[in-house]
Structure 1
Amino acid sequence: MTKTMPRDVHAYLAEFDDIPGTRVFTANRARKGYHLNQFAMSLMKPENRERFLADERAYLDEWPMTEEAKKAVLARDYNAMIDEGGNIYFLAKLFSTDRQSFQDAAGSMTGMSKDEYAAMMIAGGRSPNGVRSKKEGN
């Protein structure tokens, strides 16, 4: 009887990075983005939203986030926030603070306008055809 080696979990999870246009929220991303996500959750309280909107940088500096995460928040670059470990469900507190819909934010993340994004989703979403791997596509 031969023993099989357990599959390297890190190698397995790294395979998700090969999916074009997709950022999978892994345990590593969760750890990396802990403070970013805690900041976003703080925006559930009206007094915190007011403080944040009054001086965004000062409010962000109260959180032990990376400078890259802070810059992503200030730029409202949701893809960069996700790369920094942001969870879209927590980040929803930020675009809600800005009085934007999920559709607005998702459109900005895909490089589409709100209306283009809505039309794509109404038509059934992105096609499953095309480049399925970064290694195969470019």
Structure 2
Amino acid sequence: MTQVNPIRPARRIPGTVLFDGAQARKGYALNRMCFSFNDADHRSAFRADEEAYMHRFGLDEQQKQAIRRRDVLGLLDAGGNIYYLAKFAGILGLDVQDLGAAQTGMSKEAFKAMLVRQNEQPDTLED
């Protein structure tokens, strides 16, 4: 009989919000709203009246404030999942590299250069 290894606790990375079950529950309304942006009519409705659209999805005040400020880090802290937040970023004309730059406090050019450097180095992370 094969034994199952216990799950190791997640490593903490300073300044990084771990998207776990608690964050998923916290961000459910926000992520549901961002997922709705797959539909052009929903994107138009958001642009026409952001406040009403946020109310429709039941965002809490922390989530609303982060949306109003276009604060990516605040959205992550409010339970946002980066894959759903990318839908919101698209409305703003941003791409995933813009989001990565915002998360790290870098310019987009510096963030892209860092990705290239990391891609050129061998993986040295240990389990």
RMSD: 2.2
Matching residue within 14, 21, 36 for 1:20:
14
How far 1:120 moved relative to its partner? 0.9
Kindly provide the amino acid, as one letter, of the partner of residue 78 in structure 1. Answer: V
TM-score, scaled to structure 2 = 0.81
Residue in 1 that maps onto 2:33: 39
Matching residue within 92, 99, 103 for 1:105:
99
How far 1:83 moved relative to its partner? 1.0
Deviation string for 1:5-25 (max 9, x for gaps)? xx9x9xx56xx5x42122111
How many residues were matched structurally? Answer: 116
Q: What's the % identity of the aligned pairs? A: 37
- The CA distance in 1 between the partners of 2:15 and 2:115, in whole Å, is 16
Matching residue within 109, 119, 126 for 1:115:
109
Kindly provide the amino acid, as one letter, of the partner of residue 115 in structure 1. Answer: E
Deviation string for 1:3-52 (max 9, x for gaps)? xxxx9x9xx56xx5x42122111000001111010000011100010111
Residue in 2 that maps onto 1:93: 87
The gaps in structure 2 that reach 5 residues or longer are 1-5
- The CA distance in 1 between the partners of 2:26 and 2:15, in whole Å, is 20
Residue in 1 that maps onto 2:42: 48
Kindly provide the amino acid, as one letter, of the partner of residue 37 in structure 1. Answer: N
